[in-house]
Structure 1
Amino acid sequence: MKIIIINSGSSSIKYQLINMPTQEVICSGMIDRIGLDTSNLTYVTSNTKLDESLLIANHKIGLEKIAQLLMDDRIGVIKSTQEIDAIGHRVVHGGATFSNTVVINEEVKEKIRQLFDLAPLHNPANLEGIDVAQEIFATAKQVAVFDTAFHQTIPVIAYKYAIPSKLLTEKKIRVYGFHGTSHKYVSEKAIEYLEKSSKIISIHLGNGCSMTAIQDGKSMDHTMGFSPSNGLIMGTRSGDIDHSLIFYLINTLGYTPTEVNNLLLKESGMLGLTGYSDLRDIESNAEKGNVDCQLALAMNAYRIRKYIGSYTAAMNGLDAIIFTAGIGENSSYIRKLVCTDMDYFGIEIDMEKNEIRSKEIREINTLTSRTKIMVIPTNEELEISNQVYNLLLN
C-alpha cells in the first residue's frame, strides 16, 4: 500500500511517500518558511536530492509543487496518481468530535472547518491540504490523523478549566493538547530505548512549541490547551499570557477582537520580541550581539524550564526529557540554555555531546546525570502512516 503523508504545519509542509507495511520511504522532503520572502524546498529519493530556494506564498502552492515533483518525468517516483492508495493528513484540532483516525468525507471536512477558530494557524492549512489532495489524487482514500488524539488520556484534574462546569459539559471547553502525533512517537521510542515505562517530559520545539508530561506511556498534562496557542513562547504565538491583557487591549487601547487575535497568534512570540520568527535567524543575530535576540532566547528557555519543574512535580519524579522537532533536534544553543543549572532535577548536560549532530536517538547528558537528556528525531509521517494503514487494513 502506497501512502502519501502530508503534514502541514503553520509555516511548513513535510511529506513522505511510504510503502506499507514495509515502512519503506520512497520519497521525502519538506517546504519551510512558507509565506516568507524565501522558502526552502527539499525533495529526496534513493537517487535524487533536490534543494531549492523559491517563493512559496501559501500551502496550496506548496502542495501543488510537491505533486509536480512526485510525477516529474525525470526525478518523479510515480507515473500516475492512481498508484497512490491513500493520503494521510495530519489535522491539528479534532475537538470533542474526533478521538481516533478517520476516513475523510464531507461531514469530516465540515467538522474540521468548524474548528478553524480553535486552530486558526493550522486547521485551515490542514483542510486546504485535504482539498488539494482530493483534486490531485482523486482515487486515493483520504484519511485524517488528529494531533489531539494522544492527549485523550489527560485526567480531568488537568484538562478541566476552573470556569463554570457547564462550559465543559455543554460546550466541551477543556484542554485538548496538540502535537500529539509527535509526542506519541518520540515517547514510545524513548520507552523502547530506556526499556521501561518512565516518567518523561517530551519537548517539541518548532515554529509551534509544546511540552507533554508522559507517565507509563500516557499523556498526563500538556502546555497547550483549548487551542494550540497556550504554553511556550513560539515563532509568532505568545504562549501563556494574563487573559486580562486581552480585555485591556480591547477596552483601553482600542483594539478590535480580531486585531488582538492576530496580535497574539501572528505578531507575538519570537517575532514580536525580535522581528524574526525563524530561530535560525534569531540565533545568528544573537551571536552577532543583538540584545533583543539574546533576551528572547533566554525567555524561551526560561519558559521551558518552568514547565519542566511543574511537570516533574505533577508526576512526582522525572526519568528523562526529550528534545524533538526542528528546533529541539537541531539547536544545541536552546538545549544548552534549557539544561544549564538544572542539577536539582538531576539534569546535567554534556556540552560536547550536545554539539554532536545525528539523526539517531542519542543521550546528551553526563554519565552522572540522574535524568536522561535525549534527542529523538520525530517522525510524525511514519506514525501517521502506521495509523492510516491499520485503519484501512481493518
Structure 2
Amino acid sequence: MLISHWHATLDRPPLPTIDPPATAEVVVVGAGVVGAATALWLARAGLQPLVIDRQGPAAGATGNNGGLLSAGLAENYLAATARHGHEAARELYALSLAGQRLLVELIEQERIDCDLRLHGNVNIAIGEAQLSIAAATVSALQADGFPAALLDRAATQEMVGIPLGAAVTGARLNPAAGTLHSAKLVHGLLAAAHRYGARFSWGITVQSIASDAGRLRLLTDRGAISAAAAVIAVNAWSGEIVPELAQRIKLVRGQALCTVPVEPFIACGFGASLTPTGEYGQQLPGGQVLFGGCRAVAPDHDVGALPGEVSPEVQNAIEASLGRLFPTLAGIAIERRWSGAMAFTADYLPIVANPAPGLFAVGGFSGHGMPFAAIVGRHLAEAVQTGTMPAALALLGMERVTLV
C-alpha cells in the first residue's frame, strides 16, 4: 500500500478514540476535511458529535490530494457559466470564495499548524489558445467582482525561479488561494473539535441507515448506533451508505508523486492543462515538488479504478508533464508515489442531500473540495440543528437538472 506525502509526514500524536457507543446526539460519518469541519462546527455549537470512519482521519481524497486551497470551481468559470447560467455560476463561485476565506479563518482561530501559505495559485497556459481562454476567464471573473489577473509569459517567469517550458505562454493568477499540509489540516480540525467535545471512533464501517422511532439507526460492523441526526461525508463512497447517491457520484482514482528536494523556485500553487483532465502541484516547504493529474492517459480516465496503487502510464505522464512545465526538473528523482479516491459528478459540483429526516449527506466534490469544506460544513451543522437544509446550499441539491 502506497502512502501519500501527507500521511508520511504527519508528525502529530494520534487523536483519542473510544469504542462506538450505542447512542449519540449526532454522528458524522467520514473524517476527511468536510467531515472534520462539520464536526468542528457542531462541537462549537455545543453538540457532542461522534465522528466515525472506517479507516481514520484524512484516509480518502483529502489525505491524498495536492494540498491546494484555491477559491473557484472544479470547472472553468466560463464552462460553469455556460452549464449553469450566469447567476448560478456567480453564486457558486462566491460560495467557494467565502469557503476558502472561512477555512483560513478557522485555521487562524484554532491555531492549526498546517503549513498554510497564502501566495495564490497560477494556472499555467500552454499555447495561445489556452492563453486566450485564460484572458476571457479573467475578464469574466473580474466583471463579477472576483479576484483574478492575467499574466503574460514574462510575468509568469518572474514568479518562477527556474526556466519555464517553451510552450508556456502565460498564466491566470488566482490571488484567493494557498497551499497547506492536508493531513495536518484535518488533524487540527479534529483536535479543535475534540476540545469542544467531539468524540472519535475509527475502524467503523457503516452498513446501512434507517429511520427508527424518530431517530436514525446506523448499523455498523461493530453494532448499531442510535442518533438524533447524522451527516454522511464519505465522498467517493457515498452510494454505499446513501443509495440515492450511488448513480450520481462516481469514484475516480487520482494519482500524484513527490520529487526529491530542490532549491526553492515557486511560492504559490500551480496548475496546467497539459492533458485534458489537468495537472496540479506545489513546491513543499521541504523543497520537494508535489505534482499530480494526467488521468486522461489512463483507461477510462481512471473512473472506477480503486485507489492505493498507481499505474505506470499515468506516473510516466506526470513526470513528463512536470518536465514540460519546468525543463530543469525533467528526469528528477521521485521520492514517493501514491493515489487516492476522488468523487465526481456529471456537472463537477458536489451534492448536498437530505434523504430522510435528520439525515444529511454530501459528496462528489470532483477534486475540488478544499474551498467548500468549511462553508458546507457550517451549513450542514446548521441543518442538523434546524432540521432543514439552508437555502445557501440550494444550488448543490440532488435534484438539479445539470446532474442528468
TM-score of the aligned structures, taking structure 2 as reference length: 0.26
Which structure features the higher share of helix residues?
Answer: 1
Structure with the larger RCO, 1 or 2 (CA within 8 Å, 6+ apart): 2
TM-score of the aligned structures, taking structure 1 as reference length: 0.27
